[in-house]
């Protein structure tokens, strides 16, 4: 399947979302934006650590103030500004965590791909990659608790994270049970005609 110009990649932590985004950026000259990185940058400006609690609170605040698709809107506007100059051939957005973000991508003619893998496998990937991010320094039990919290909205708070809602409206679903990054990348290249 050939991917459209705009692709959202959502999924669970350490499932392989960024691998797909980076591969498409390299092979198809697509701009690659992690919505979480936009929030990390803002937390840096505020002098706050990149803990999941702070990321979630900031995302909730922005969605409440500017609409649930605000992170997609900011990213698409930047892409349009840079597209001609940098000769981008597409845009890949990762870390989609709210259904309205997914819907904003779909409204632009894009698709949303949900990537997942077994929880224990994903936790082990985080420990092996040791990116040094504070939000990754958790026990397996904390990892599971935080993920379960993010999968459904907080009652009465439409701006809260709702990854389960994103999963439910995703256009495609990918299970990344591959043992190595190379095997996963080979699958992605073939599945999505990444050349």
Q: What is the pLDDT of residues 20-53, one digit of tens each?
A: 999 999 999 999 999 888 888 889 999 999 887 8
Phi, psi (degrees; rounded to nearest 5) at 49: -70, 155
Nearest to 18 by CA among 160, 190, 188: 188
56 confidence band (pLDDT: 50, 70, 90): confident
Helices (H), the chain: 17-28, 35-46, 52-66, 70-86, 99-107, 119-129, 140-150, 163-169, 181-191
What is the value of pTM for the model shown? 0.87
Average pLDDT estimate for 1-18: 95
Residue 4 has pLDDT above 90, yes or no: yes
93-141 residue pLDDT tens: 998 988 999 999 999 999 999 999 999 999 999 888 876 776 677 899 9
Relative to beta strand 172-175, strand 90-96 is unpaired
Show the domains of the chain with their CATH numbers.
6-189 (3.40.50.300)
Average pLDDT estimate for 145-150: 89
- The predicted pLDDT at position 80 comes to 94
- The predicted pLDDT at position 134 comes to 66
Residue 165 has pLDDT above 70, yes or no: yes
Selected residue with higher pLDDT from 70 and 129: 70
């Amino acid at each position: 399947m050939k991917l459209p110009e705009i692709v959202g990649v959502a999924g669970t932590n350490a499932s392989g979302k960024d691998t797909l985004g980076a591969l498409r950026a390299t092979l198809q000259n697509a701009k690659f934006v992690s919505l979480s990185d936009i929030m990390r940058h803002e937390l840096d400006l505020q002098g706050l650590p990149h803990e999941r609690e702070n990321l979630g609170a900031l995302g909730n605040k922005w969605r409440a103030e500017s609409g649930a698709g605000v992170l997609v809107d900011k990213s698409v506007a930047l892409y349009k500004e840079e597209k001609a100059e940098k000769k981008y051939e597409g845009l890949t957005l990762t870390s989609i965590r709210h259904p309205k973000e997914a819907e904003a991508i779909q409204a632009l003619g894009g698709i949303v791909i949900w990537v997942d893998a077994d929880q224990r496998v994903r936790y082990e990937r985080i420990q092996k990659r040791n990116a040094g991010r504070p939000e990754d320094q958790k026990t397996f039990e904390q990892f599971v608790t935080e993920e379960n919290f993010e999968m459904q909205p907080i009652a009465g708070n439409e701006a809260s994270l709702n990854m389960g809602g994103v999963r439910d409206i995703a256009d495609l679903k990918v299970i990344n049970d591959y043992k190595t990054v190379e095997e996963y990348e080979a699958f992605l290249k073939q599945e999505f005609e990444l050349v």
